[in-house]
């Protein structure tokens, strides 16, 4: 036994009988188990949160099927590495496990198509993202998608006790699992993280270890990671990044951006959050912000790392240096609150669609005034339900561009909306 291996690797299941969790895939009548027993293994996409057994299950499938197993991570592998595996398949079918397949761009995913379609390789891709959005349709159509669920308390308990009772190093200690709530809470349903925490708890020289909620908290405070892209630090750092941009500090924004990139954060996740911020915190104060954020999201999908970091930096600094407004964000919040309070108010007759004679006879669309027939393309028609007439939901922010909107609305609507 290699004592230098982490606990999660030392106790990794080698056979299906040892595998814990995902019973909907591995139970006797489950389709995946049946495919394994018949050795009729299709190409597969495993979709599920981190640490639920995607890699382990792929390895077991490869062993059960007697296939040469190759493992690549889309974080640091490219088309060249994929082609090496395809070349190796010339001597017989192989299984390629591609972790984080969603990080491959379209051309990289396309490189797999021929080999998968011809049956030269069995592809098992693992992703934490919805494959409908992140995997090419052509590749997705050649794979079966299996969803892996977050591990529950029962499975986490089994994994913990299995490690305590069967790992050669942990068996040398007397370990008492007195409390497990904090252990499971901080692991977040991630078996790998659970075992890492357990190993940290047991790394002391003490031979008798009592695991309590307080001991777990103390240990984690001493071993907190710089950036855990799937845990609490993930949310803290993206929060710091967004708040730095909202607070118009480009220096802090690029610092937190660098922290996320160093921790292996998905560039699409970062770009997606900036796209949201462009509307939520800038909005009509600078409409170009949304255009630039959208182009950033598209560009990082095409370019990938490491060059994507430059595009992300450009967008982050632009958004940080932009004038801010949350007027659009507050407007939809106000509207949703009104809808929740007042329910489904009837559409005024003059705004209704009238595609039939019957509807016209019921005055659907009657008295509607077409704005373009009037001076300045405007007529003061009522567009809200009668009971909500005059309700102000959108209040332009105090910045030059939105003050132009306020002036426009005041000229058009006079005192109706209080502009």
**pLDDT at residue number 266:** 84
**CATH number of the domain that residue 366 is part of:** 1.10.3710
Report the pLDDT averaged over residues 72-77.
82
Does residue 9 lie within any of the structural domains? no
pLDDT digits (tens, 9 = 90+) for 169-183: 898 889 988 988 888
Residues 163 and 192 in one domain: yes
State whether 48 and 143 are in the same domain: yes
Per the model's pLDDT, the better-predicted residue between 312 and 36 turns out to be 312
- Structure confidence at residue 221 (pLDDT): 65
Same domain, yes or no: 36 and 134: yes
Tens-place pLDDT, residues 196-249: 888 888 887 678 888 988 888 887 765 544 445 555 566 788 888 999 999 988
Look at residue 233 in the predicted model and tell me its pLDDT. Answer: 64
Same domain? For 100 and 61 the reply is: yes
Number of domains in the chain: 4
Domain membership flag for residue 267: yes
Residues 239 and 215 in one domain: no
User: Residue 382: inside a domain, yes or no?
Assistant: yes
pTM above 0.75, yes or no: no
Mean pLDDT of 333-350: 87
Out of 106, 123, 147, a domain closes at 147
Which range of residues forms the domain containing residue 160?
Answer: 153-222
Q: Do 116 and 28 share a structural domain? A: yes
Q: How far apart are CA 233 and CA 304, in angstroms?
A: 23
Looking at the domain assignment, is residue 339 inside a domain? no
How does residue 316 score in pLDDT terms, banded at 50, 70 and 90?
very high
Q: What is the mean pLDDT of residues 121-150?
A: 88
More reliable by pLDDT, 47 or 205: 47
Is the domain of 386 the same as that of 284?
no
CATH of the domain at 238: 1.20.272.10
Task: Give 286's pLDDT tier (boundaries 50, 70, 90).
Answer: very high
Q: Which residue has the higher pLDDT, 102 or 292?
A: 292
Give residue 226's pLDDT.
43
Across the chain, mean pLDDT equals 86
Pair (84, 137) in one structural domain: yes
Q: Is the same domain home to 39 and 68?
A: yes
- Residue 328 covered by a domain: no
Domain edge (last residue) among 115, 147, 179: 147
Q: Please indicate, yes or no, whether residues 128 and 184 belong to a single structural domain of this protein.
A: no
Inside any domain, residue 14: no
pLDDT tier, 325 (very low <50, low <70, confident <90, very high otherwise):
very high
Q: Which residue has the higher pLDDT, 18 or 38?
A: 18
Does the residue 8 lie in any domain?
no
Average pLDDT for residues 358-384, to the nearest whole number?
87
CA 56 to chain centroid: 22
What is the mean pLDDT of the segment spanning 307-325?
A: 93
Give the domain-ending residue among 98, 128, 147: 147
Q: In which band, very low, low, confident or very high, does the pLDDT at 288 lie, cut at 50, 70 and 90?
A: very high
Residues 242-273: tens digit of each pLDDT: 999 999 888 989 989 998 887 778 888 899 99
Which CATH number does the domain housing residue 200 bear?
A: 1.10.8.60
Mean pLDDT of 362-382: 88
Confidence of residue 3 (pLDDT cuts 50, 70, 90): low
Do residues 216 and 292 both lie within one domain?
Answer: no
53, 167: one domain: no
pLDDT for the residue 324: 94
| Nearest partner of 170 among 210, 211, 198, judged by Cα | 198
């Amino acid at each position: 036994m290699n004592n230098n291996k982490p606990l999660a690797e030392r106790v990794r299941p080698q056979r299906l009988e040892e595998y814990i969790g995902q019973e909907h895939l591995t139970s006797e009548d489950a389709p995946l188990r049946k495919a394994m027993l018949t050795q009729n293994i299709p190409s597969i996409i495993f979709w599920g949160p981190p640490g639920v057994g995607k890699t382990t299950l792929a390895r077991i499938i490869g062993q059960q099927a007697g296939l040469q197993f190759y493992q690549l991570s889309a974080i640091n592998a490219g088309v060249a590495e994929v082609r090496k595996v395809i070349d190796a398949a010339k001597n017989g079918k192989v299984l390629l496990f591609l972790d984080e397949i969603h990080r491959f761009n379209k051309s990289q995913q396309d490189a797999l198509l021929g080999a998968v379609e011809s049956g030269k390789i069995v592809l098992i891709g693992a992703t934490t993202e919805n494959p409908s959005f992140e995997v090419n349709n052509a590749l997705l159509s050649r794979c079966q998608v299996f969803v892996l669920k977050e591990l529950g308390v029962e499975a986490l308990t089994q994994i913990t006790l299995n490690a305590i009772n069967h790992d050669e190093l942990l068996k040398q200690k007397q370990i008492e699992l007195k409390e497990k709530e904090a252990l499971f809470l901080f692991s977040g349903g991630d078996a790998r993280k659970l075992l890492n925490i357990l190993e940290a708890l047991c790394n002391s020289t003490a031979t008798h270890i009592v695991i309590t909620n307080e001991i777990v908290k103390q240990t984690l405070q001493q071993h907190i990671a710089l950036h855990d892209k799937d845990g609490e630090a993930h949310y803290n750092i993206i929060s710091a990044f967004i708040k730095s941009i909202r607070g118009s500090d480009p220096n802090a924004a690029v610092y937190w951006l660098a922290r996320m990139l160093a921790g292996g954060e998905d560039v699409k996740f970062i770009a997606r959050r900036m796209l949201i911020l462009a509307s939520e915190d800038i909005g009509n104060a600078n409409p170009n912000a949304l255009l630039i954020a959208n182009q950033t999201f598209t560009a990082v999908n095409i370019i990938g790392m490491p060059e994507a970091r430059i595009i992300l930096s450009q967008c982050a600094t632009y958004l940080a240096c932009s004038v801010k407004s949350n007027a659009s964000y507050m407007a939809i919040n106000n509207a949703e609150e009104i809808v929740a309070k007042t329910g489904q108010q009837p559409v005024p007759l003059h705004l209704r669609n009238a595609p039939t004679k019957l509807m016209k006879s019921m005055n659907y669309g009657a008295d509607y005034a077409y704005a373009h027939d009037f001076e300045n393309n405007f007529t003061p028609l009522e567009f809200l339900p009668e009971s909500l007439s005059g309700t102000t939901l959108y209040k332009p922010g105090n910045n030059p561009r939105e003050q132009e909107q306020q002036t426009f609305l005041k000229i058009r609507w006079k005192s109706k909306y209080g502009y």
